[in-house]
């Protein structure tokens, strides 16, 4: 699990990667052992000073992560060699109290939860910043009109504020859900070999509760070693954020096409250079965010598949989660970082939006004209009239205006001014501005939530 | 989307399938059109009687679903032919008001939400019944002791009540989440061509609100045509339930192995017969539930991948959701139905549990003996002593008891009674009974929630 | 498994769907039983006339597929009720010879292979036609120059013939692989309950060989009931074809954007209409093909996951294959049909290609100028010179030509004619034409292969 | 991409991991640049000595992989910083010839192919060793009889040799396919910015051919930058091998259950220890192999999804392949290493197989008795008779033998000896031994193939 590596600039972007690397896992495992010793002490099972001696040794820098990794093959997980190494650092009378009442899975499951909690901080920070940048775009572009596009075809006009509102709502809903899921699922795991806490005599539940308090994780009603609802819910929430951000990035790659040119990535000089084409400025952030998004669903499918676990500890499915979760957090973290960079520096070109809309011709306004005529003609006849005109315009290479101007119904029911009005994109934006305000209001509410947390 | 078909008995089990079939989709699409007409009427855009005329024609049985399906290729979706057929059923003056202000995606997205809501009812009913059956097993087997198994190896003892509590908690947490997600995401979609509601003049938001009221779906702050957080969250919650049920079914297949024999599927005669082996009684429900679970993660990955949608309507990703969602609901519905049947008729054999545990030998109690000795000997020495004894027992083919009885420490620190106590599985169940009560309490709470909804 | 249904026009396009529907599966299962009876007869185990009596009853139309489907839940598969129904149609002395030596899985696995073989015929036909249409585009557009696009940014020029050659090679390689895989994996499965053929006395291998001959499927060295290499290879080859066709469709959606306009879908009138916007002609075939492609990888992941099967028959993973395979074949078949329609009617606009290229400005030719200057200046200095000029051009809003004309090095080393030449897209197409010929030659070779098969 | 790391002992097992780590990728990228310079020299575009100067600098140890990784974010890939660093190491007159005619994607795609080829060597070695170990098990256990198990229920007997033959055939078919796919798809990529090779004047095709020769990779007819058939086929073949090995590992975890005990993992002392339970010997190799297998399908789905790439270079989908491919190769490599260890040290217990079969009771032999009686009674009546007897035996808790002995038909048609014979598992193994010989013969043939390569 590389915080760094040959592709780190792309897929370990931002601050999340450092929270899911080997050192982070190792420290989280040690945090479990330290907290378990202290919880044991509070429950009267471990002498206080032994607990503190143990806790003092639970620092990642005292251990050789690569050595542990190599030895992980022996027992099928790195806990066994870690315990050996930890005990070797301690006087015998403290060593005897290490890992009291726990099993390997307790260590790794709780470590996963700690790693996730720590990784979600920068990840959600970046997602929030991406949302905030979207909100600024919304705010700044209430009057920037562009062509809406369906099936990649120009359709009716909308404002860029509304387009960015969609981005905003998507990111906000996804990060709110991720926050809510994290609050509900992040919890310690302590069950001992088969989930009975038998090795802790009659203090098992107390130790588990103390452990949760010590690590600031939830205290679940039952150990969840073979019931993977918690990791699976987390994975699903990450997938949703990945998709929401990916949608924004996808739009940016499309808007940045030379033939469209309605947005481009600003940002630091030197970004987006090509190895062969000096003239290009590639939308590197958007492309990288899409690449991250594309890798997420397959990993989430692995986590979902892995829920079907055998008895009290799975023979393969549980183990399949470890690296997969690191990857998931790293990739969604990188995607959030890219999305933030992309949106914070996005350069929007309202003139180009307008000129693209005009170049699309006034056929996109056919629905508006039909609506305007419907008042007098009735909806059916109005529609038929305009549909016919649109067909003729298309066929004869004329504008819709030209065709309409030749029709007696236009003169009679709309007049020249009415036709102008019906063909003006500004006048056919529906509820765009109200929707924009709703999105901004909802966004402010997510920030309030956050503060209250 | 088969409610029936050659494999229906397996994969369209229960009542969910009928809520996601062609007819169900068609009716949901028509429900949208009916509700839209009425919402338009309330907003003053459509004459009341026209709206009622439209609504009266919105009955699936008036349409030829196969014909519509065949024509769906023309526009790339079945809405265009459906509108044609619906208008053909109506007088012109009513036909002109059909689909006012909406676009194809509005129809299909809202229909998806209706279909999901209707399908979730039987699906969640069956999941609740499966949970209730688990709770009865918990209640009935507080004293049934069996071997916990980790990596498919016998480990320490636990009660079957605790094992079933794990099942119960998994199912309950998953269905609670699914219910919560459904409550939050099920909402109408109405945006018109590009999400501005422009064709509804200044009444767009009112119409959208009325539409939501009419269909008893949520009213989202913004249309969500290209922001797929809602369907993606739903898919994720379905995957989690599928996994939670799949875990239970997996355990049942393992417990039902002839060599284990601790549980078997009861149920109606004739179930589980083999085409060649008259003596077999196959765990058909468990196997079928596992099969359903196995198909879910790939479909959910499709939904997650499809979140990256272009601009105001995606060129492929949106369309990929339709049948995939039907499949998802159908399969998780079938799985819930199977899980319910399986659990309601599960036959548990506590004698076999006990005899398997005994056959496993007393080495599984080594940890218990070490814990018992630790009080006098100290944890470290106690562990070493027992580990040595266990190794000798394994090597010499003796029981742990035999080896321990030869050791002076046993006589000194435990005595014969103490050794008996330490080797008794009943005495080494830790917090099993408290955990069981927690699971039952949490289950009762989910039922309370449900009633309050 | 719907050959028809509400979305059939999109996802059951073409002739493949009819080969994977319930009736097709049922007939394939019956074909197995008929062929098994005859194979038994040839091996001397079944009287000839009984075998013919059985075979005569093996017609799908004699059975109620929905009834069988409903009953499939009893044994967990539809074979048990089918055998009951088949025997009920026969005199007792023939009924006694039905299914001799086989087990349910033999029937369904062999049926899967028959279904696949039959479905692959129209599927590969459509893929071949799509390739042929690509080849015609290649042939027709050797001189149509357009902008190559990397990361969706205009880069250097290429010919549309070369672009379509890429499509062609992708489709051809994918269908050749699919054909080769089909030839190698399509085989009967006959093993009896656990793969020993024990119920066929000493004639098991003979019966298996005769069965293969009868059904014109391969005779595998061993039964493969729990070794799923065959279905998994087939699924992988289908995914590759889906991806290759999806790439083409994706390109078409991008070329068909209003702002690009270099290609559009022709085809039958009425296709691509919008429910609200009369002016739009949507690229329905391309969009639908992309939608099909998007659904394939998740299904293939299900098949790959399902390879991990238990012992002599899996408890869930095998059953998960049935409908998944039908879906896979149906979707890739529909995608091939869409791709064929799309490519056969694709309208290409070389003028728009040229004008888009010109509108992109001459910065795209920077590499060409640098290459031209390198002969005299050396590669390094030439590159630096042009890079500087390109930067100035970008910064000052000039064309590259304008900036270059002001530089003394241009006059000295290129001259006016040299500059013209270096800036002409036609002159910077590299090996485009040779590559095009290679693609056409390779295509012709695939046709030869096919004929020889 | 960790060759090492905290979980390396599990998921970077064996020698494959070192071939896919950062250093391996970096060296492969440099190998491309070295070979490109030499190919350019042979084509007369680059002075020979400059080419050799370049090649001499193309050694991974001269570069800082972490620094390159960090800078990879600038251009969205690590090629741009690598070229900068490479040029900085060279005199200007050599630096000017670096990367001549190539684009970033050429470097990374060709590097992917080199990495794959190098990684496949140890991976296929381990898979071959796993097959060889299976073959030895086949050879050694021709007479070890055990219960075949379907849906995890004991069914008819088979030999362990036949069971291991199934494993063998699966592994062999999968590795043969992987080898064949590798031979067909591993090829250089050289196209320049948009696939025309324009920057290589008229020598592009020659350079490409020389490049292929230099790197000992295939020379594809066309560049394949946006046609991902090659990587996708490779991914599919890896998934099939992962599944084939995963099936074997799954069976081993099931056979190693304490209640079954028919096989266990031998191997080096200390493997399989538990952190809490000294008596356990966990099947670590099998569990780890299953864990690897479980992670593969999701990654392959990512590669399949990523086939839908835009125009001449994808905006995200291409980039998504890099790390995913490393993971795939690493995981399947680790799985092959685990499978080899597991099979080479597998301890099989024929006595336990026999005693489990006996404990299952003689009902598993019902089919055999029916077959024996059919000769005289006719198949139908024989079946009914035995089915009735089996039902009575089940109901009354008797053995089948006991019930049959009471029936007059038994005495009349079988006699005591005949009944003994019909109930003897040895006598009802069908074609097991012929099938075993076939598997061994097919295995030997794969070895011949290999030698000829």
Residue in chain B lying closest to C192 (CA): B276
Q: Band the pLDDT of D267: cuts 50, 70, 90.
A: low
SS3 B439: helix
Q: Which one from A274, A355, A391, A444 is the annotated catalytic residue? A: A274
Question: Does residue B388 register a pLDDT over 70?
Answer: yes
CB D185 within 8 A of CB D230: yes
**What are phi and psi for residue A320, nearest 5 degrees?**
-65, -15
Q: Which residue has the higher pLDDT, D451 or A137?
A: A137
Cα–Cα distance for residue pair B401/C24, rounded to 1 Å: 64
Supply the residues of D annotated as catalytic: 274, 313
pLDDT one-digit tens code per residue, C326-346: 999 999 999 999 999 999 999
Are B364 and D153 a contacting pair at CB < 8 A?
A: no
Pick B395 or B197 by higher pLDDT: B197
Secondary structure, 3-state, B308-366: CCCCCECCCCCCCHHHHHHHHHHHHHHHHHHHHHHHHCEEECHHHHHHHHHHCCHHHHH
- Output the CA torsion sign for B74, B77, B82, B88: negative
User: Whole-angstrom Cα distance, residue C194 to residue C196?
Assistant: 6
Active site residues of B: 274, 313
Nearest Cβ partner of D196 from C96, C201, C430? Answer: C430
Lowest mean pLDDT among A421-430, B261-270, D379-388: B261-270
- The answer to whether the CB of C342 falls within 8 A of the CB of C249 is yes
Name the residue with higher pLDDT: B385 or C185. C185
Q: What is the pLDDT of residue A315?
A: 97
Mean pLDDT of D221-238: 98
In the predicted model, is pLDDT for residue C450 greater than 60?
yes
Rounded (10°) CA dihedral A9, A11, A17, A23: -90
Note the pLDDT tens digit of each residue in A239-251.
999 999 999 999 9
Are the C-beta atoms of D30 and D49 separated by less than 8 Å?
Answer: no
Closest CA to B30 of B97, B108, B88: B108
What are B154's strand-pairing partners?
B149
Q: Do C193 and D155 count as a contact with CB atoms less than 8 A apart?
A: yes
Sign of torsion over alpha carbons A363, A365, A368, A373: negative
The CA distance from C260 to C256, in Å, is 6
> Contact at 8 Å (CB) between B71 and B77?
no
Encode pLDDT of A99-130 as tens digits.
999 999 999 999 999 999 999 999 999 999 99
pLDDT of residue C269: 52
Q: Can you tell me the mean pLDDT for D51-70?
A: 97
Per-residue pLDDT at B274 exceeds 60: no
Contact indicator for C71, B9 with CB cutoff of 8 Å = yes
Closest partner residue to B6 (CB to CB) among C5, C22, C270 is: C22
In this prediction, residue D364 has a pLDDT band, given cuts at 50, 70 and 90, of confident
Which residue is associated with the tokens 């200044």? Answer: B202
User: Is a pLDDT exceeding 90 seen at residue D181?
Assistant: yes
Measure the CA dihedral C66/C68/C72/C77, to 10°. -120
Min Cα–Cα distance to chain D from B92, Å: 45
Beta carbon pairs, A and C, within 8 Å: 113
**Chains meeting B at 3+ CB pairs closer than 8 A?**
A, C, D
- Closest-CA residue of D relative to C99 is D379
How would DSSP label each residue in D357-400?
HHHT-GGGGHHHHHHHHHHHH-HHHHHHHHHHHHHHHHHHT--H
- Give the dihedral sign, CA D255/D260/D262/D267: positive
Q: Are B48 and B41 in contact (CB under 8 A)?
A: yes
Given a cut of 60, whether residue C274 has pLDDT beyond it is no
Of D14-23, D111-120, D377-386, the least confident: D377-386
Cβ–Cβ of B278/D254 closer than 8 Å?
no
Mean pLDDT (chain D) is 93
Q: Is the confidence at residue A275, as pLDDT, over 60? A: no
Q: Which residues of D touch A8 (CB under 8 A)?
A: 66, 69-70, 72-73
At C197, the pLDDT band (50, 70, 90 cuts) reads very high
Q: What pLDDT, on a 0 to 100 scale, did the predictor assign at position C452?
A: 59
Residue C293 near residue B231 (C-beta atoms within 8 A): no
Structure confidence at residue C271 (pLDDT): 59
Is it the case that residue D274 has pLDDT exceeding 70?
no
SS3 content of chain C, % helix, strand, coil (to 5): 70, 5, 25
- With CB atoms and an 8 Å threshold, state whether D305 touches A297: yes
Q: Do C439 and D221 touch (CB under 8 A)?
A: yes
pLDDT band at C65 (very low <50, low <70, confident <90, very high): very high
Cβ distance of C152 and A283 shorter than 8 Å: yes
Q: What are phi and psi of B265, to 5 degrees?
A: -80, 125
Q: Is residue D226 predicted with pLDDT exceeding 70?
A: yes
Among B9, B104, B283, whose Cβ lies nearest the Cβ of C72? B9
Q: Taking CA B308 as the corner, what is the angle to CA B302 and CA B313, rounded to the nearest 5 degrees?
A: 105
Asked whether the beta carbons of residue D250 and residue C96 sit closer than 8 angstroms, the reply is: no
- The distance of D127 to chain C (nearest Cα, Å) reads 15
Confidence category of residue A364, pLDDT binned at 50, 70, 90: confident
Instruction: Collect all residues with Cβ–Cβ distance below 8 Å to A20 and sequence separation of at least 6.
Output: A1, A3, A115, A119, A325, A326, A329, A330, A333
A112: nearest Cα among A319, A311, A293 = A319
Q: Catalytic one among A13, A100, A228, A313?
A: A313
Q: Contact at 8 Å (CB) between B188 and B217?
A: yes
In angstroms, rounded to a whole number, what is the distance separating the alpha carbons of residues A200 and C132?
A: 73
Using an 8 Å CB-CB cutoff, list residues of chain D that contact chain B: 147, 149-156, 253-254, 256-260, 274, 276-283, 287, 297-298, 301, 305, 356, 359-361, 363-364, 366-367, 386-387, 390-391, 393-394, 400
pLDDT band at B387 (very low <50, low <70, confident <90, very high): confident
The Cα–Cα gap between D289 and C306 comes to 15
pLDDT level of residue A448 (50, 70, 90 thresholds): confident
For chain D, percent of residues with pLDDT exceeding 90: 82
State whether C259 and A257 contact (CB < 8 Å). yes
Which residue does chain B place closest to A314, by CA atoms?
Answer: B151
What average pLDDT does the structure give for chain A?
Answer: 93
* Res D278 pLDDT > 60: no
Tokens representing D78? 């690590």
pLDDT of C379:
78
Instruction: Give residue-wise pLDDT tens across range C8-59.
Output: 999 999 999 999 999 999 999 999 999 999 999 999 999 999 999 999 999 9
All residues at 6 or more sequence positions from D413 whose CB lies less than 8 Å from its CB, including other chains? D373, D376, D377
| Cα separation, C441 vs C435, whole angstroms | 10
CA distance D397 to chain C (A): 24
Angle between helices D204-215 and D22-42 (to 10 degrees): 130
Burial group, residue C202, by CB count within 10 angstroms (0-12, 13-18, 19+): exposed
CA torsion A381-A386-A388-A392 (nearest 10°) is 160
Is residue C6 over pLDDT 80?
yes
Chain D residue closest to C146 (CA)? D194
Cα(A147)–Cα(D133) distance, rounded to whole angstroms? 65
Q: Which residues of D touch A256 (CB under 8 A)?
A: none
Contact D386 B278 (CB under 8 A): yes
Q: Which of B146, B149, B151 to mutate to test the interface with D (most CBs of D within 10 A)?
A: B151
| Per-residue pLDDT, D218 | 98
> Cα separation of C109 and C346, whole Å?
40
Those chains having 3 or more beta-carbon pairs within 8 angstroms of chain A are B, C, D
Q: Could you please report the per-residue DSSP string of A348-399?
A: E-HHHHHHHHHHT-GGGGHHHHHHHHHHHH-HHHHHHHHHHHHHHHHHHT--
Interface A-D, measured as beta-carbon pairs within 8 A, has a size of: 263
- Residue A274: predicted pLDDT: 54
- Residue carrying structure tokens 């899967």: C112
Tokens of B169: 């908690």
D169/chain C closest Cα distance in angstroms: 8
pLDDT confidence of residue A367: 85
The reply to whether residue B283 touches residue D151, judged by beta carbons under 8 angstroms, is yes
How many CA atoms, within 13 angstroms, populate the side-chain half-sphere of residue C288? 34
Q: How does DSSP classify residue C17?
A: G
Tens digit of each residue's pLDDT (9 = 90 or more) over C220-229: 999 999 999 9
CA dihedral D284→D290→D295→D300, nearest 10 degrees, is 140
Six-digit token pair at C314?
């899996």
The CA distance from D411 to the nearest CA of chain C, in Å, is: 22
Inter-chain residue contact C305 with D294, CB threshold 8 Å? yes
A86 — pLDDT class (breaks 50, 70, 90): very high
Mutate to test the interface with B, among C274, C280, C295 (most CBs of B within 10 A): C295
Task: With beta carbons under 8 A apart, name residues in chain D contacting B356.
Answer: 259
Give A130's contacts (C-beta < 8 A, 6+ positions apart). Answer: A171, A245, A248, A336, A339, A340, A342, A343, A344
Distance of alpha carbon C147 from the chain centroid:
27
So what's the pLDDT on residue B377? 85
C86 has a pLDDT exceeding 80: yes
Q: Is the pLDDT of residue C377 over 80?
A: yes
Give percent of chain C above pLDDT 70. 95
Instruction: Please pick, among C313, C330, C340, C401, the residue that the annotation labels catalytic.
Output: C313
Mean pLDDT of B1-30: 91
pLDDT of residue B280: 64
The span from the CA of B6 to the CA of D92, in Å, is 72
Question: Can you give the pLDDT at residue C279?
Answer: 55
Dist. CA A430–CA B204, nearest whole Å:
7
Q: How far is CA B79 from CA B73, B93, B102, in A?
A: 11, 20, 11
pLDDT score of D453: 53
Over its C-alpha atoms, chain C yields an Rg (Å, rounded) of 29
SS3 B158: strand
Q: How far apart are CA D58 and CA D27, in angstroms?
A: 7
CB neighbours of residue A359 within 10 Å: 11
Which chains sit next to C, with 3 or more Cβ pairs under 8 A? A, B, D
- pLDDT given at position A280: 64
* Whole-number pLDDT of residue D277: 54
Instruction: Name which of C99, C76, C308 is nearest C193 in CA terms.
Output: C99
> Is B150 within 8 Å of A227 when comparing Cβ atoms?
no
B19's tokens: 């809520």
User: Is pLDDT at D156 greater than 60 in this prediction?
Assistant: yes
pLDDT at B390: 87
A86-114 burial code (b ≥16 CB/10 A, e <16): bbebbeeebbbbbbbbbbbbbbbbbbbbb
Cβ <8 Å between A150 and B311? yes
The 10s digit of each residue's pLDDT in D335-350 is 999 999 999 999 999 9
pLDDT, tens digit (0-9, with 9 covering 90-100), for C277-310: 555 679 999 999 999 999 999 999 999 999 999 9
Asked if pLDDT for residue A317 goes beyond 80, the answer is yes
B153 contacts in chain D (CB < 8 Å): 256-258, 280-283
pLDDT confidence of residue A273: 55
Query: B198: which 2 tokens?
Result: 């422009």
Write the ipTM.
Answer: 0.96
Q: What per-residue confidence (pLDDT) applies to D397?
A: 85
Residue B378's pLDDT band (boundaries 50, 70, 90)?
confident
Query: Does A9 contact D300 at a Cβ distance shorter than 8 Å?
Result: no
Min Cα distance D316 → chain C (Å) is 8
Please count the residue pairs, one from chain B and one from chain D, whose beta carbons lie less than 8 angstroms apart: 110
Question: Is A72 in Cβ contact with D9 (below 8 Å)?
Answer: yes
Mind telling me how many Å the CA of C200 is from chain B's nearest CA?
12
Residues of C in contact with D428 (CB under 8 A): 196, 198
Answer whether residue B363 shows pLDDT above 80: yes
Of B249, B288, B315, the CB nearest to C287: B315
pLDDT score at B391:
85
Residues C217, C219: Cα–Cα separation, whole Å: 7
Q: Give the pTM.
A: 0.97
**D318 vs B362, which has greater pLDDT?**
D318
């Amino acid at each position: 699990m590389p915080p760094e590596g040959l592709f780190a600039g792309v897929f370990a972007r931002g601050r999340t990667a450092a929270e899911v690397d080997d050192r982070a896992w190792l420290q989280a495992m040690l945090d479990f052992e330290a907290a378990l010793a202290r919880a044991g002490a509070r429950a009267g099972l471990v002498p206080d000073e032994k607990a503190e001696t143990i806790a003092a040794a639970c620092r990642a820098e005292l251990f050789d992560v690569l050595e542990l990794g190599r030895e992980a093959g022996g027992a099928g997980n790195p806990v066994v060699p870690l315990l050996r190494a930890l005990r070797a650092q301690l006087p015998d009378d403290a060593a005897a109290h290490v890992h009291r009442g726990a099993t390997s899975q307790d260590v790794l499951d709780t470590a996963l939860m700690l790693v996730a909690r720590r990784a979600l901080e920068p990840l959600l920070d970046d997602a929030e910043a991406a949302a905030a940048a979207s909100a600024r775009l919304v705010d700044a572009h209430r009057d920037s009109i562009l062509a809406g596009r369906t099936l990649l075809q120009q359709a009716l006009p909308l404002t860029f504020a509304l387009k960015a509102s969609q981005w905003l709502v998507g990111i906000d809903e996804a990060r709110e859900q991720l926050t809510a899921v994290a609050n509900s699922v992040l919890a310690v795991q302590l069950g001992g070999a088969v989930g009975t806490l038998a090795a802790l005599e009659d203090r098992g539940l107390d130790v588990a509760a103390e452990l949760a308090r010590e690590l600031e994780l939830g205290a679940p009603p039952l150990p969840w070693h073979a019931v993977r609802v918690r990791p699976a819910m987390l994975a699903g929430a990450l997938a949703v954020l990945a998709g929401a951000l990916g949608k924004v990035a996808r739009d940016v790659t499309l808007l940045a096409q030379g033939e469209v040119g309605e947005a481009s990535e600003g940002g630091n000089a030197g970004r987006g250079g090509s190895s062969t084409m000096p003239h290009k400025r590639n939308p590197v952030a958007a492309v990288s965010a899409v690449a991250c998004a594309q890798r997420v669903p397959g990993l989430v499918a692995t986590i979902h598949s892995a829920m079907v676990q055998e008895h009290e500890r799975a023979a393969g499915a549980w183990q399949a989660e470890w690296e997969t979760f690191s990857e998931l957090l790293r990739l969604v973290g990188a995607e959030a970082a890219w999305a933030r960079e992309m949106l914070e520096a996005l350069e929007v070109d309202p003139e180009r939006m307008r000129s693209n809309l005009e170049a699309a011709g006034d056929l996109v306004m056919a629905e508006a004209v039909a609506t305007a005529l419907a008042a007098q003609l009735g909806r059916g006849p109005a529609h038929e009239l305009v549909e016919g005109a649109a067909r003729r315009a298309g066929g004869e290479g004329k504008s819709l205006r030209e065709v309409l101007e030749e029709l007696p119904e236009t003169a009679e029911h709309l007049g020249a001014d009415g036709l102008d009005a019906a063909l003006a994109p500004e006048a056919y934006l529906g509820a765009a501005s109200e929707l924009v305000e709703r999105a901004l209001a909802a966004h402010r509410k997510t920030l309030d939530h956050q503060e209250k947390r």
